Structure 1
Amino acid sequence: MSVLEVRDIHRNYGKKEVLKGVTFQIDSSEIVGLIGKNGAGKSTLFKVITGLLKQKSGTVKILDQEVSSKNRKIFQQVGCLIEQVSLYPHLTGYEHIQIVAKLTDTKIDEHVETLISTLKMNSYIHNKTKTYSQGMKQRLGILLAVLNKPKLLLLDEPLNGLDPEGVYEIRTFLLNICHQEGMSLLISSHILSEMQIFCDCFLFLKDGVISKDLTKSDLKNSNLEQEFIEDNQE
C-alpha cells in the first residue's frame, strides 16, 4: 500500500520555481533517501508534504487521503523533523515530551521510557533544553517525531550535529523502530555512506525534479557518492 504519494508538485518562491513537477511514492515500511545539493528544494518538499507550505499545483496523499487545510487529521499518522529542532529553552526535554504526547493523544508509558533509554537521553532528559548540545537536541527531535508511532516518518537532515558514534546509534535506532512499528521513512542527509547502508531506495532531487530513482540493488557496482557526483555533472 502507498503510504505517501506525491504527484506533479510545483512550488515557487516569488518568480523562482523551486519544485518543478516532483512525483514519487513511498510504500508501506519502505525507507527512502532524498538526496540533493544544498538549495535543491529538499526542505521545501518536506514542508509541502506536511502542509507547512502550499504547493502551486499538484497533490500530496498520505494513506490515500489528500493533504489539505480541510484535512489536518491525517497528520496524526505523521511524525516529522524538518531543518533545525525548535525547542522551548526554559522547558526540559521531558516537558517537551509531555506537550507532544498531549497534542497527539499519546500515553506516556513504557514505550516513552524505552525511547528515552534507547536514545541514551536518561542523563539529561529532565534538564532544560537551553543546556543541550546540538546532538542532544537532534535526539530529542527524533524522539518527538516517533512518539506517537506514526505510519509515515519525515526526517530532514536528522544526523546534523551528531558525532560518528551518535550517527551509528541513530541509524540503528531508526532501522529498528521502522521495522518494529512498520513505519515508512523519507529521510534526507548529506552523509551518503549512512544513507546507502539503511535506505531501501534513493531519490535524487536536482533542479526541482526527481532526476534519478535508484534501489539498493542498483548500487551493486557503484555507490551513492559516485551516483550523486555523476548526476550533478550531467
Structure 2
Amino acid sequence: MSQTPNNKDNIILSLEQLTKKIGQQTLVDQLSFQVRKGEIVGLLGPNGAGKTTTIRMIVGLIKMTSGDVFIQGKSIRSQFTEAIRHVGAIVENPEFYSFMTGLDNLKQYQRMSEGVTEERMQQVVKLVGLTDAMNKKVKAYSLGMRQRLGIAQALLHNPSILILDEPTNGLDPAGIREMRDYLKKIAKVEGIAILVSSHLLSEMELMCSRVVVIQQGKYVTEQLLTDSTNKIASNDGVKLMFIVDNAELAASTLHSLPLVNILTVNVEAQHVILQTKNEDVPSIVSALSGQGVGIYRIIEEKQTLEDEFLKWTGGGQIV
C-alpha cells in the first residue's frame, strides 16, 4: 500500500500507467508513482526490474509505449519541450571536456541554455562544494568531483526535479558519503525534488525520505522512511528484545497481555523478542516488574531497508 503524502500541490513528477514494450517483452508495466517538491525518492528494484528504462522514458531518451509522464503538469508525450525544461538529469556518468576547466565546461553549458546567469553558476558551484576547483582542468578531478560537477551542470537552469541514475557508482566510501550529503543539502536548499536510482540499499536508506520498489517492470510498493534515522517507518509498532532474569516467567506474563505478539522466547539466553505498539511499552515493563521479572535491557530491533526489500521482492538481487 502506498504511504505517500497527500499534498497534491507539491507534485513535481507524476508517472501515470507508464509502459514500455519491445516486441512481446514488457519492460515497464503500467507504472505509476509521484515525486514531490523537496523530497528525495529512491527507485529500487532487482536486476532487470526496469529502473533505468523508467528513467530513460522520464527524460525522453526512449519513447514510451503507453501511459504518460507529467513534470510540473506538462506531458512528456505531448508537451516535451515545456516538460523537460523542468528537469536536470544525469543518466549513467556525466561527460565533460577533460582538457577544459570545470568553469569552462559550465560556461559551455551556459551558452546552450537560456537564462543561466553568472550569479547562478557561482551559486550551484558553491552548493556542490567545487568553488576551489573551478579553475582546474577536469582531467585532474576525482570521480566524486566529476559527479558533483555533473550535478552543478544539471542544476544550472533551475530545474524542479533532479533525476540521477546510480550517482554513487564507482565512488569510494568517502565519496559516497559526500555525494549523499550534497544531495540532501540540494533538496533542502534548492527545494527541488530528487529521484535517484541506486543499487546501494544502505545509502538509499540514509539518503531518501521515501522509496518506490518495482519488480519485473511493475509497481510493488512504496514506503516512507522515518526522518530521524531513515529507518523503515512501520505501522506494525516496534520489535523489542527484553533481556531478563527469567525468560519463562516473562513469556507467561506477556501472554496474558493484549496487543503483544511474542515472536521468540530464548530461555538459555534469557531474552524475549516481541512486537508491540510504542504506547504499550510502559504497561509491559510495569507488568513484568509486578511479577518480579528483572529487566536488564530493552533493545529495539529495527527493520532495515535491506530486510524490507527482501520481503517485497522475494529475495531478488538489486542491481
Q: Normalising by the residue count of structure 1, what TM-score does the alignment of the two structures yield?
A: 0.89
Alpha-carbon separation, structure 2, partners of 1:18 and 1:233: 19
Q: Encode CA deviations 1:19-43: one digit per residue, 9 max, x unaligned.
A: 0111111122222111122332111
* 1:163 CA drift (Å): 2.1
Alpha-carbon separation, structure 2, partners of 1:163 and 1:125: 22
Structure label with greater radius of gyration: 2
- The corresponding residue for 2:276 is none
- The corresponding residue for 2:13 is 4
Which of 21, 24, 27 aligns to 2:33? It is 24
* 1:148 CA drift (Å): 2.1
- The corresponding residue for 2:304 is 223
Counterpart of 1:87 in 2: which secondary structure?
coil
Whether contact under 8 Å (2:144, 2:179) holds in the other structure is no
Alpha-carbon separation, structure 2, partners of 1:103 and 1:229: 44
- The corresponding residue for 2:47 is 38
* 1:184 CA drift (Å): 0.9
- The corresponding residue for 1:180 is 189
* 1:131 CA drift (Å): 4.2
Q: Encode CA deviations 1:153-208: one digit per residue, 9 max, x unaligned.
A: 11111112222222222222221221122101111112222211231211011110
Which of 132, 135, 145 aligns to 1:136? It is 145
Alignment of 1:111-150 (within 5 A): 111-150=120-159
Q: Which amino acid aligns with 2:118?
A: I
Whether contact under 8 Å (2:127, 2:186) holds in the other structure is no
* 1:70 CA drift (Å): 4.7
Whether contact under 8 Å (2:43, 2:214) holds in the other structure is yes
Identity %: 33
Q: Encode CA deviations 1:99-155: one digit per residue, 9 max, x unaligned.
A: 22233321122x433433453434543344344443232121111112222111111
Aligned: 1:210 with 2:219: yes
Alpha-carbon separation, structure 2, partners of 1:27 and 1:44: 21
Alpha-carbon separation, structure 2, partners of 1:169 and 1:144: 18
Alpha-carbon separation, structure 2, partners of 1:153 and 1:87: 19
- Relative distance call for 1:25 and 1:95 in structure 2 (3 A) is same
- Relative distance call for 1:10 and 1:115 in structure 2 (3 A) is same
Whether contact under 8 Å (1:142, 1:158) holds in the other structure is no
* 1:3 CA drift (Å): 0.9
- The corresponding residue for 2:24 is 15
Aligned length: 233
Q: Encode CA deviations 1:58-101: one digit per residue, 9 max, x unaligned.
A: 01111111113653132222111111222233433222211222
- Relative distance call for 1:66 and 1:16 in structure 2 (3 A) is same
Whether contact under 8 Å (2:128, 2:151) holds in the other structure is no
Alpha-carbon separation, structure 1, partners of 2:157 and 2:224: 29
Which of 94, 105, 108 aligns to 1:99? It is 108
The CA RMSD measured in Å over matched residues stands at 2.1
- The corresponding residue for 1:167 is 176
Alpha-carbon separation, structure 2, partners of 1:158 and 1:113: 22
Counterpart of 1:58 in 2: which secondary structure?
strand
Which of 58, 67, 71 aligns to 2:76? It is 67
In structure 2, the gaps of 5 or more residues are: 1-8, 227-231, 235-301
Counterpart of 2:168 in 1: which secondary structure?
coil
In structure 1, the gaps of 5 or more residues are: none
Q: Whose relative contact order is higher, 1 or 2, with alpha carbons under 8 Å and at least 6 apart?
A: 1
Aligned: 1:197 with 2:206: yes
Alpha-carbon separation, structure 1, partners of 2:70 and 2:126: 34
Q: Which amino acid aligns with 2:117?
A: K
Counterpart of 2:157 in 1: which secondary structure?
coil
